[in-house]
Structure 1
Amino acid sequence: MYTDTNFVRQSLELHLFFARIMKEHSFFLQIGFTPRDIKFTQKADEFRRAFDTLLCDVVALSDGIVSKHVLQSGEVVTPFTLQAERLSEFYTGVDIPTGITKAEETLMGANPNTLSTSFVDEVSRINNRAIQLISDLIMFKATILSNVLECKMFTMNYPLLIDHIMREARLYLSMVEKLQQREFINMEREALEQEAFWNRIMAEHAKFIRGLLDPTEEALFNKANAFGKEFDVLTGEALAAMDRTVPFRKVTEDSLEATIAIRDFKAQGTEGLLNCSIKSIIIPLLGDHTLREANHYLRLLNMFAR
C-alpha cells in the first residue's frame, strides 16, 4: 500500500539528491559563459539561488523523516562536499551557501509511522514548486544547447555536458511528477531503464574528466578513457537486457563492479583537486558532484542486486 509516509519520504529523498544536483548544474552553467552573455550568467545564478531555497526548505523537513540508508549513501553529501564548495567559491567569487551542507551533515534518519496532513501538504507544495522550477531549467538548458550548436554562443561547457545535465533534469522532473500523481516509484521494476540511464551518465562523466585534465596527466587520462569505454559497453548491455538478449543479473553485477571502481576513482580525483595535486581545469565542486552521482547509482544497484 502506498501511504502518505512513503510519499513524503520518497519526495524528500529525491529532492535531497536532485535539488543539489540542479543547483550545481546552474552553477556550472553560470561560470561557463563569456562576458558577452551576462544575461545568461544572471539567469543561471537565479536558478542556482532558487534551487538553494528549495533544498534549504527540503532539509528543514527531512530530519527524522528520510531513511538512514540514503543519508549514509554519500549521495546527499560526501566528506568532500563542504571543502569543495568553499574552494569553488574562492575560485569563482560565486557565493555558495555552505550552511545548507552543514545542515545536511546533521540530518538523522528514521522511519516514522504517521505524519500530519499539514506536513504531507507541505511536501506536496514543495513538489509542485520543484516541477515548475525544473521545467523552467530544462527550457533554459535547451536554449543554451541550441545556441551553442548553432554557433550563436560560446561557453566553456561541452555541448555533450549541456545535453547530459538536461537528461538528468528530465529524469528528476518525471520522478517528481509520478510522486505528485501518487504513483509508487518501484526502482527495482524500473531497474534496467535506470541502469541504462546511469551507465551512460557514468560513461560521460569519465569522458568529461578525460577532456578536462591537463595534457600532462597521462595516467589519469588513460584511466578515465578506459572507464568511458567500459561504461559505453555496460550501457549497451543494459539496453540489450531490455530485449532479453543479456541476463538482467549479469548487467547488474557488471555495473556494480564498474561503478564501485569509478566511485573510488572519483573520490581520489576529488581529493586530488582539493589538495591541488592534480593539474586540470576541473572546478572542485564538479568532482564532488560526479562522486555523489556515483554514490546514488551504487545505492540503486545494491537495491537491484538483492
Structure 2
Amino acid sequence: MLSSAGFVRQSLGLHLFFLRIMKEHSFFVEVGFTPRDASFTQRADALRMEFDGLLAEAIVLSNGVVDPEVLQSGEVITQYTLSAERATTFYTGVNIPTELTREEAGLRGGVCEEVSPILEQKVCELNQRAIVLTTSLIEFKTLVLSNVLSCKMFTFNYPLLIDHIMRESKLYVLMLQRLQSREEIDIQREAYEQEAFWNRIMAEHSKFIRGLLDPTENELFNTANNFGNEFDVLTNEAKQAIDMTVPISKVTSDSLRATLAIRDFKAQGTQGLLECRIRSIIVPLLGDHVLREANHYLRLLKIFSRC
C-alpha cells in the first residue's frame, strides 16, 4: 500500500503536469470552434478556467513537498512557457493567467518522509475534484468528436487531435483513481503500459506538427514526418514487449534516444514560433505544450532505465 508521503508526492507531481495539460486542452478545443458554436466555445472556456483554479490550488500545496525531479524535468513549465502564453493570448484574445506560470517558476521541491493528515486530506480532496472535472472534459470532448464525425459540427481541430487529447485525459483520471486507492506502482508493468501509450502520443505529435506547417516548410515537414514514422515503429515495439516478443529494455533504450531527439526538435520549433521564423498555423502554446509532454515522457523513461 502506498505511504501517505508517497501518495501526496505522486498526486501533486501528477497534478502539476496534467492540470496544465488539461487547461490547455480546453483552450485548444475552445479556439477551434466557429462562431455558430458559441455555446461550445463558452463551455470550453468555463472548463479551462476551472482547471486554472485547480492548478492554483495544486501549486500552493506542492511548495516544499513535490519531488524535485518533477520540477527539474521541464514538464511543469519550460523556459518558453511564459512567452508562449503571452504570445498566444495576443493572437487569440483569450486571457491566459500567466501568474500561475510565475508561481510555478518559484516552486521548491522537497523530500519529506512524513506529511500531515491535513495535507493528505487536502490532496485527496483535490484528486477527487480533478477526477470529476476531467471526467466532464472527457464527456465534452466525446460530444465534440461525435458531432464532428457525424458532420454536425466543424472545428479547426483534427478529429485525431480530439481523440488524442481524450486519451490523455483518460490516463490522468485512471492514474488519479489508482492513487486514491493507494495503489503501489509496479514499475515493470508501468514501463510496458506507459511506453506503448507515450510512443503513440509522440508519433501523433509529429503528425500534427507536419499537418500544421505551411506547405513551404519542406525541411521541417520531412523531419516531423520521419519522427512520426519512427515513433509508429516504437509504438509497435512497445506493444510487442507487452506480448513478451521484444525485450522491454530494448524498447526503453530506443524510446529514450528518439524522445531526446524529438524533445530537441520541439524546443527548437517552439523557439522558432516565438521568434516568428516558422510559417505555420501553430500557436506558440501548442509548441510548448508538446515539448512539456516530451519532457514528462523523458522523466518516465529515465526511471524505467534505472529499474
The normalised TM-score by structure 2 is: 0.99
1:153 is matched with 153
- Percent of aligned positions that are identical: 65
d(CA) in 2 for partners of 1:75, 1:150 = 36
Asked whether 1:63 is paired with 2:40, we answer: no
d(CA) in 1 for partners of 2:251, 2:46 = 40
d(CA) in 1 for partners of 2:254, 2:116 = 43
1:134 is matched with 134
Amino acid at match of 1:132: V
2:179 is matched with 179
SS at match of 1:124: helix
Question: Post-superposition shift, 1:187?
Answer: 3.9
1:166 is matched with 166
* Contact 1:187/1:300 (<8 A) preserved: no
d(CA) in 2 for partners of 1:186, 1:132 = 26
1:81 is matched with 81
SS at match of 2:83: helix
2:282 is matched with 282
Amino acid at match of 1:210: R
d(CA) in 1 for partners of 2:11, 2:237 = 30
Asked whether 1:248 is paired with 2:253, we answer: no
Question: Post-superposition shift, 1:247?
Answer: 1.2
Deviates more, 1:199-208 or 1:104-113: 104-113
2:260 is matched with 260
Asked whether 1:116 is paired with 2:116, we answer: yes
Amino acid at match of 1:114: E
Correspondences of 1:190-209 after superposition (within 5 Å)? 190-209=190-209
d(CA) in 2 for partners of 1:243, 1:273 = 41
Residue-by-residue CA offset, 1:7-61 (whole Å, 9 max, x unaligned): 0000000000000000000000000000000000000000100000000000001
The normalised TM-score by structure 1 is: 0.99
d(CA) in 1 for partners of 2:188, 2:298 = 13
d(CA) in 1 for partners of 2:264, 2:116 = 41
How many residues matched?
306
Asked whether 1:303 is paired with 2:303, we answer: yes
1:235 is matched with 235
Question: Post-superposition shift, 1:222?
Answer: 0.3
* Contact 1:179/1:185 (<8 A) preserved: no
2:36 is matched with 36
Structure 2 gaps, min length 5: none
SS at match of 1:190: helix
Question: Post-superposition shift, 1:5?
Answer: 0.6
Amino acid at match of 2:102: K
